Structure 1
Amino acid sequence: MKLYKIETVQHINATVEECWDFFSSPKNLQTITLDNMSFEIQDFDDKRMYPGQIITYTLKPLLGIKINWVTIITVSKENQYFIDEQRFGPYALWHHKHFFEPTENGTKMVDIVHYALPFGYLGRIMNKLVVESKLKNIFAYRQNKIEELFNSKI
């Protein structure tokens, strides 16, 4: 199994507490996801993030094909970091770490995703042809949306 990694760093003009308040609510994931992915939360317990929390949703990442995705929050330390992992979905492995670090001007947010695709060599080809660029577009959109939400305030 080939493991891939995507890492993004973003500086946010908000306190760690304000960032945590936004990012620890699964409801806000829809806000920072591309509209054309038709992201929709199906079920979660409407609580702030905690270890063991399960979130189920549907989305259409490619060619308008609807898929189910089940995520579990495996680790969460308030105002510092959390990790979500796919339990069921399109990836052979999805491990997403989110870190929040206070800075003089706000918060440094770091996202690190390790992922692997199913289907061996065919999955490697799909990563090069489609998946890697799609994920980079998704994270670029998130960064732009976060800029709009937090950093465009006067």
Structure 2
Amino acid sequence: MPHAAPAGFQHGVTLAAARTIVDATLSKGREMGLAPLTVVVLDAAGQLKAALREDGASLARVDIAWGKANGCLAMGFGARELARRAQSMGPFMNALSDLTGGRAVPVPGGVLVKDGAGAVLGAVGVSGDLSDKDETCAVAGIRAAGLLADTGDAPA
């Protein structure tokens, strides 16, 4: 018998989509020859949906990736916008970090996951290489799942 979510619960990104995102993100990192990556996928409520840390990834990568994704969800925009605001609003970003238990990392590599109508389904955080490269992998993973990636920059 299929499992039905309780009435009223909208979980956002599905487990199937999260698995696709993680696998495609790591695949893109290998294609690009990057350092070992860690990928965290959070659902729309900021709850862990999937996480993988490649062999050789350093110890804090899970927390960094989670912080990149969680910061996006906490503020409602991609990490590039979060990074811009961190430059001009240092005290606010310090408060945000405190309020989130340190899980708001304002650098590229945190990407909101949206459906075709623009609804936020969750967020992906990637850590392991340069932040711009982490972001490239996250976007590839999200697109592989047939979803839209919001990095915090206007779409090109």
TM range, normalised to the smaller chain?
Answer: 0.3 to 0.5
TM-score (norm 1): 0.34
Structure number with the higher strand fraction is 1
Structure number with the higher helix fraction is 2
Greater Rg over alpha carbons, structure: 1
